[in-house]
Structure 1
Amino acid sequence: MQNKNSDFCAPLTSFDWNEVDPNLIGTSSIDTTCTIWGLETGQAIGRTNPVSGHVRTQLIAHDKEVYDIAFSRGGGGRDMFASVGADGSVRMFDLRHLEHSTIIYEDPQHHSLLRLAWNKQDPNYLATFAIDSMEIIILDVRIPCTPVARLNNHRSGVNGIAWAPHSACHICTAGDDRQALIWDIQQMPRAIEDPILAYTAEGEINQVQWSTTQPDWIAICFNNFLEILRV
């Protein structure tokens, strides 16, 4: 896909596919924007035609680079999305009302926020973390700017987060300390001190994914390896 309205395409940092409307893809970029793409496909059994796309909407989402974008299942699961970036904020948008956004959280030291992930079962909750941070922050969109939980057991920078697809209170985190940790957050807002499960890989873990169709399995990657873990 290419933005036909611009001769220059700034590097993209992330993308997310809308689960409710598969014709929508969101991308984030270092040029401070988020772009929502509409896809048109012509497809027949036994033959796949090229996919074309058009920019449905593009907006200046942050004051600095945008590092991640993710659609929420809230509001019907089609129109709500959030983004994080180098300005240290989490911002939520509604495709039906793009004239304004809601700041869900701002890092007190304005550290860049690297990734975010929406709770798969309860769209009121999302998780994020800052670059080189050992702490994961859990946010409730009904209580903006105030974390409802902080997960602090990593000993080096966090790189990935993944909510359980079948449970609203479980999340897996992974980082440079080679640890993949599963947390139970159902006791919020009481402090959550320790994970319920831990796995040590043979290298710094770069990313983690929790299988949607087979929730007993989690995938992690480190060095040039991909490992599949059974929960």
Structure 2
Amino acid sequence: MYSFRTTGFNGYAVQYSPFFDSRLACAASANFGLVGNGRLYVLGLTPNGIVAEKSFDTQDGLFDCAWSEIHENQIVVATGDGSIKLFDITLSDYPIQSWREHTREVFSANWNLVDKTTFCTSSWDGLIKIWSPVRPKSIATLQPRNTPLSCTYAASYSPYNTTLIASCSSDSYLRLWDPRIGDFPTNSVYAHNGAEILSLDWNKYRPDIIATSSVDRTIKIWDLRFMNRASPTLQAMSNASPVNEFYGHNYAVRKISWSPHASELLLSASYDMTARVWEDRTAFKHSATQPSVTRLHQGGGLRGVWDRHSEFVVGCDWSLWGTEGWVCTVGWDEMVWVWDIRAVF
């Protein structure tokens, strides 16, 4: 167990480097992100604890960060002034690239794990934008049609498909997008009965599984095969049901992340000041004679609770390296914790 204090800055996001087992990035904001500067921390895990290897200050708060998948020293950040900035940790204190097309706070950034040459962002302006680090303008803009723009809290590339993106919004919709088809959703589901959806994540081992979390305190597991089978029309998709649901958090679930090591393990971070580990044991049966999938049973549930934070826990991530089970969490208490989930099982 390790800890680091982001003194004067409240944490919003944390992510392990995809290249180094001992390096983290943390996006933080002064005054809880309401007003003031932001700071990007590059943290190193050492035998003597966590040390700050470098930091970059920004003129507005930072709400998310994502390591580049093609350059080991580059990190993109999402800022409160609507801009996106790309930093190289080997260079000066200034970003090597900056974009500003969003008109409201940028709330998420996610790098393409398959193509690796693009990343996407989502904003309180309701839009999703696709970027290349070598282009001065966005490649594409995605937005819901025939509905008022609502805050798009998160957008994430599928880890199996070069173009498929999932997003979640304040209007309670989980949407799927494929820019090859057009700048409109290819499918959607009214996922949390009117409650804002704050986070989503693709399962790293099951290509059709997505988890969502909401202000309604629940985590829901969705299977795209059931969604697509429900109806070919976008409107009827609203009636699709989750294949599993988790209850236990006392307040909104701000962030969720599937394990990169085990298909059934999910990490969550909540405004109830805890991080929790869940186990999804839902099983499916595939038909050999027709293209259908049947759910055999639901299973799993809460495996453990981490309660060392003293304020909202808003970010979490799994280590890609070493012994399976190490994770990191960050909160508004100015603390980054690195811990082993097996300590709470």
TM-score of the pair, normalised by structure 1: 0.83
| Residue 101 of structure 1, CA deviation | 2.2
- State, as a whole percentage, how many aligned pairs show the same letter: 22
- Give the match for residue 54 of structure 1: 137
Divergent runs of 4+, >6 A: none
> Is the 1:32–1:60 Cα contact (8 Å) retained in structure 2?
yes
Q: Which amino acid aligns with 1:70?
A: S
Report the 3-state secondary structure (helix = DSSP H, G, I; strand = E; otherwise coil) of the residue aligned with 1:166: coil
- Give the match for residue 244 of structure 2: 149
Q: Distance in 1 between matches of 2:261 and 2:301?
A: 21
Q: Sort the Cα spacing of 1:104 and 1:123 in 2 relative to 1 into closer, same or farther, 3 A.
A: farther
Q: Distance in 1 between matches of 2:140 and 2:207?
A: 23
Report the 3-state secondary structure (helix = DSSP H, G, I; strand = E; otherwise coil) of the residue aligned with 2:99: coil
- Give the match for residue 24 of structure 1: 118
| Residue 138 of structure 1, CA deviation | 0.7
Q: Distance in 2 between matches of 1:202 and 1:101?
A: 37
Q: Distance in 2 between matches of 1:27 and 1:78?
A: 16
Would you say how many aligned residue pairs link Structure 1 and Structure 2? Answer: 214
Q: Distance in 1 between matches of 2:192 and 2:167?
A: 17
Residue in structure 1 matching 2:159, options 67, 73, 96: 73
Q: Distance in 2 between matches of 1:111 and 1:61?
A: 18
Matched, 1:83 2:167: yes
Report the 3-state secondary structure (helix = DSSP H, G, I; strand = E; otherwise coil) of the residue aligned with 2:206: coil
Q: Deviations over 1:140-193 (max 9, x none)?
A: 111122100110021222122110001211111121223222122123554446
- Give the match for residue 325 of structure 2: 216
- Give the match for residue 45 of structure 1: none
| Residue 123 of structure 1, CA deviation | 1.9
> Is there any run of 5+ residues in structure 2 with no aligned partner, and where?
1-97, 228-239, 284-294
- 1:1-231 matched pairs, under 5 angstroms: 1-2=98-99, 9-40=103-134, 52-61=135-144, 63=147, 64-74=150-160, 77-98=161-182, 100-107=184-191, 109-131=193-215, 133-144=216-227, 145-188=240-283, 190-192=297-299, 194-203=301-310, 204-214=312-322, 215-222=324-331, 223-231=333-341
Q: Distance in 2 between matches of 1:108 and 1:206?
A: 19
Q: Distance in 2 between matches of 1:151 and 1:33?
A: 29
| Residue 21 of structure 1, CA deviation | 2.2
Q: Distance in 1 between matches of 2:330 and 2:218?
A: 20
Report the 3-state secondary structure (helix = DSSP H, G, I; strand = E; otherwise coil) of the residue aligned with 2:220: strand
Q: Distance in 1 between matches of 2:211 and 2:171?
A: 17
Q: Which amino acid aligns with 1:81?
A: I
Q: Sort the Cα spacing of 1:34 and 1:161 in 2 relative to 1 into closer, same or farther, 3 A.
A: same
Q: Deviations over 1:97-145 (max 9, x none)?
A: 12542334204632221111111121211111223x2110111111122
| Residue 83 of structure 1, CA deviation | 0.7
Q: Which of 214-223 and 102-111 deviates more?
A: 102-111
> Is the 1:89–1:103 Cα contact (8 Å) retained in structure 2?
no
Indicate the structure whose relative CO is greater, using CA pairs within 8 Å and at least 6 residues apart.
Answer: 2
Report the 3-state secondary structure (helix = DSSP H, G, I; strand = E; otherwise coil) of the residue aligned with 2:267: strand
**Rg larger in 1 or in 2?**
2
Q: Sort the Cα spacing of 1:10 and 1:200 in 2 relative to 1 into closer, same or farther, 3 A.
A: closer
Q: Sort the Cα spacing of 1:98 and 1:213 in 2 relative to 1 into closer, same or farther, 3 A.
A: farther
Q: Sort the Cα spacing of 1:138 and 1:69 in 2 relative to 1 into closer, same or farther, 3 A.
A: same
Q: Which amino acid aligns with 1:205?
A: V
The RMSD of aligned alpha carbons is 2.1
Q: Which amino acid aligns with 2:318?
A: W
Report the 3-state secondary structure (helix = DSSP H, G, I; strand = E; otherwise coil) of the residue aligned with 1:167: coil
> Is there any run of 5+ residues in structure 1 with no aligned partner, and where?
41-51
TM-score of the pair, normalised by structure 2: 0.57
> Is the 1:179–1:198 Cα contact (8 Å) retained in structure 2?
yes
Report the 3-state secondary structure (helix = DSSP H, G, I; strand = E; otherwise coil) of the residue aligned with 1:142: helix
> Is the 2:143–2:183 Cα contact (8 Å) retained in structure 1?
no
| Residue 199 of structure 1, CA deviation | 2.1
Q: Distance in 2 between matches of 1:160 and 1:179?
A: 11
Report the 3-state secondary structure (helix = DSSP H, G, I; strand = E; otherwise coil) of the residue aligned with 1:26: strand
- Give the match for residue 44 of structure 1: none
Q: Distance in 2 between matches of 1:108 and 1:14?
A: 20
Q: Distance in 1 between matches of 2:144 and 2:130?
A: 12
